């Protein structure tokens, strides 16, 4: 099992869905989002993340929880990242019947 800090190993894994590598200095997450033609606000809404926070994440100023990164990866259709994050997601508790 990989450590969460090593889940994102390269820009190419983040941009797999649109086959475009980020320009120098461009955020891989922003590249993936733009590659799908999604606005920051639409992406944030679909991933249940505050748009301002997502903007700061894309600029490298803030980070996301594993759960929020997983939701974002689903929205951005980053299937490999979704699969890599899955083991780190909290398990849902079942109610006693």
pLDDT in tens, 7-37: 444 444 544 545 567 777 789 999 999 999 9
pTM score of the predicted model: 0.74
**Would you say residue 11 lies in a domain?**
yes
In sequence order, which residues have a C-beta less than 8 Å from that of residue 41 and are 6 or more positions away?
51
pLDDT at 50: 98
Q: Taking a C-beta distance cutoff of 8 angstroms, is the pair 78, 17 a contact? A: yes
Q: What is the tally of structural domains in the chain? A: 1
Does residue 96 form part of some domain? no
Task: Tell me whether residue 63 is in a domain.
Answer: yes
Residue 19: inside a domain, yes or no?
A: yes
Quick: pLDDT tens for 43-95: 999 999 999 999 999 999 999 999 999 999 999 999 999 999 999 999 876 56
Residue 66 lies in a domain: yes
Distance CA 67, CA 88 (A): 8
CATH code, domain with 56:
1.10.260.40
Are 4 and 13 contacting, i.e. CB atoms less than 8 angstroms apart? no
Query: Cα angle at 42 between 77 and 54, to 5 degrees?
Result: 80
Does residue 16 belong to any structural domain of this protein?
A: yes
Which structural domain, as residue segments, surrounds residue 19?
A: 4-88
Q: State the Cα torsion 18-11-66-41 to the nearest 10°.
A: -50
């Amino acid at each position: 099992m990989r450590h969460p800090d090593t889940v994102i190993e390269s820009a190419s894994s983040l941009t797999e869905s649109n086959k475009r590598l980020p320009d120098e200095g461009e955020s891989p997450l922003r590249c993936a989002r733009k590659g799908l033609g999604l606005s920051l606000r639409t992406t944030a809404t679909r991933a249940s993340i505050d748009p301002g926070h997502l903007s700061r994440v894309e600029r490298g100023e803030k980070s996301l929880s594993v759960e929020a990164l997983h939701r974002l990866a689903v929205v951005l259709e980053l299937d490999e990242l979704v699969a890599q994050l899955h083991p780190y997601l909290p398990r849902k508790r079942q109610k006693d019947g």
